[in-house]
A and B are shown apart, each in its own frame.
Chain A
Amino acid sequence: MAVKKKNSLWHEFSKGIVKENPVLRLVLGTCSALAITTTAMNAIGMGIATTFVLVCSNAIISLLRKIIPDKVRIPCYIVVIAGFVTVVQMLIEAFSPSLKTALGVYLPLIVVNCIIFGRAEMFASKNPVMPSILDGLGMGVGYTCTLLCMGIIRELFGSGTFFGMPVLSNFIPSIIILLLPPGGFFIFGLLVAIANRLSGEGKAPEEIGCAGYRGCGSCELANGCSLTAKKNDGEAKEK
Chain B
Amino acid sequence: MKQLLAIFLTAILTENYILDKFLGICPFLGVSKKRDSAIGMSIAVTIVMVISTAVTWPIYYGILVPNGLDYLETIVFILVIAVLVQFIETVLKKYIPTLYNALGVYLPLITTNCAVLGVTMLVLDKHAANPTTFGYAQALMNAFGAGIGFLVALVMFSGVRERIELNDVPKFWRGLPITLVAASITSLSFLGFSGLVTGMLGVS
Contact = CB atoms under 8 A, between A and B. Distances in A.
Interface of A: 27, 30-32, 34-35, 74-75, 78-79, 82-83, 85-86, 89-90, 105, 108-109, 111-114, 117, 177, 180-186, 188-190, 192-194, 196-197, 202, 204-213, 215, 218-221, 224-227
A210 B30 contact: yes
Interface residues of B, number: 54
A205 to B, nearest CB: 7
B78 A209 contact: no
Contacts of B108: 221, 224-227
A208 B20 CA distance: 21
A222 to B, nearest CB: 10
Contacts of A211: 30-34, 37
Contacts of A204: 171-172, 174-176
Contacts of A85: 74
Main DSSP-derived SS at the B contact region: helix
Contacts, number: 167
B175 A31 contact: no
A152 B118 CA distance: 26
Interface of B: 19-27, 29-34, 37, 71-75, 78-79, 82, 105, 108-109, 111-114, 117-118, 121-122, 125, 171-181, 183-185, 187-188, 190-191
A74 B187 contact: no
Nearest to A180: B191
A35 B185 CA distance: 16
Nearest to A204: B175
Nearest 9 pairs of A and B residues by beta carbon? A209-B30, A189-B180, A185-B184, A211-B33, A193-B177, A35-B22, A82-B75, A186-B184, A182-B188
Contacts of B112: 112, 114, 117, 220-221
B187 A181 contact: yes
Contacts of B125: 105
- Which among A30, A185, A218 has the highest number of chain B CB atoms within 10 Å? A185
B177 A225 contact: no
Given A79-B75, A209-B30, A185 B183 contact: yes
Given A114-B112, A226-B108, 12 more contacts: A105-B122, A108-B74, A112-B114, A183-B184, A185-B183, A192-B180, A197-B172, A209-B33, A210-B31, A210-B109, A211-B34, A221-B108
23 contacts: A31-B114, A35-B21, A35-B22, A79-B75, A82-B78, A89-B71, A108-B121, A185-B181, A189-B184, A192-B176, A192-B177, A197-B172, A204-B172, A205-B175, A209-B33, A210-B109, A211-B30, A215-B30, A219-B26, A219-B30, A221-B111, A225-B109, A227-B108
